[in-house]
DNA sequence: TCGGTATTTCGCTGAATCCCGAAATTACCC
DNA sequence: GGGTAATTTCGGGATTCAGCGAAATACCGA
């Protein structure tokens, strides 16, 4: 609960989660059918350095909100909808 | 959204919100019928200094999770259930 | 008005977080 | 193997957060 809330207490991370709700709309190079959006596209859209965005993605992944898939040199990120829903429902029950 | 998540990203603050769900059980001196739990009881239970807990309570209040009522020298805090529910529902829709 | 209690504000220190560039890692291609 | 691209890890400096004690504020009762 605490780690999840910490992961959400940053504007850039909230924005990343929002963008990934609709990859095709937010990342024109992505057709939405693949295993997610590659880190470079997210980094570019966030307008921060690669290392900074990589850290944000790692925090979101550790919190369970994102899943990562390595495919060749690229790492694709996508939302873990099941765990996101599980979190919001737990919050509704326990908060 | 961001401010609310920041308010929840601290263990002491989460604990305070939880205690206030059942004042009679967590604060024996409180009969649960009054306008909330006075700051001193929360401070004692949290085991931190008065100034620290006062800051936590202010953050929770600014985020909309708590309401405060001054009665004489005491300030009573209670959960704002409507706004807490509004937040969890917004999170479920938008996260 | 004075003294006492409850709470908040102020000033400060140490810890955590954020952000960056450089270096390391991983994987592709020739 | 050497060169290149994508990503992560490392080491740092800046900002924010958490905590405290002391001082200030608010209120009551004698």
CA dist A27 and B82 (Å) reads 37
Q: How far apart are the first and last CA of chain A?
A: 10
**pLDDT given for residue A31 in this prediction:** 58
Chain B positions in Cβ-Cβ contact with residue A92 (cut-off 8 Å): 85, 88-89, 92
Structure tokens at B2: 């961001």
pLDDT per residue as tens digits for the range B77-92: 999 999 999 999 999 9
Average pLDDT score over residue span A18-28? 92
CATH number for position A12: 1.10.10.10
Best of B1, B64, B85, B95 to mutate (most A CBs within 10 Å, chain A): B95
CA dist A87 and A89 (Å) reads 5
pLDDT at A78 over 80: yes
Average pLDDT score over residue span A61-68? 97
For B79, the closest chain A residue by CA position comes to A95
pLDDT at B65 over 70: yes
Total number of domains in chain B: 1
Q: Which domain holds residue B43?
A: 1-94
Chain B positions in Cβ-Cβ contact with residue A18 (cut-off 8 Å): 94
pLDDT per residue as tens digits for the range A83-93: 999 999 999 99
DSSP three-state, residue B28: coil
pLDDT per residue as tens digits for the range B18-60: 999 999 999 877 656 678 999 999 999 999 999 999 999 999 9
- Cα B75–chain centre separation: 12
pLDDT at A33 over 90: no
* Number of Cα atoms under 13 Å in the Cβ half of residue A28: 1
């Amino acid at each position: 609960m605490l780690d999840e809330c910490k992961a959400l207490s940053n504007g850039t991370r909230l924005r990343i989660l929002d963008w990934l709700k609709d990859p095709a709309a937010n990342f024109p190079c992505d057709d939405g059918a693949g295993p997610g959006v590659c880190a470079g596209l997210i980094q570019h859209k966030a307008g921060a350095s690669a290392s900074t965005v990589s850290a944000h993605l790692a925090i979101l992944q550790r919190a369970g909100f994102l899943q990562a898939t390595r495919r060749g040199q690229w790492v694709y990120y996508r939302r873990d909808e099941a765990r996101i829903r599980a979190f919001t429902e737990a919050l509704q029950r326990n908060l």
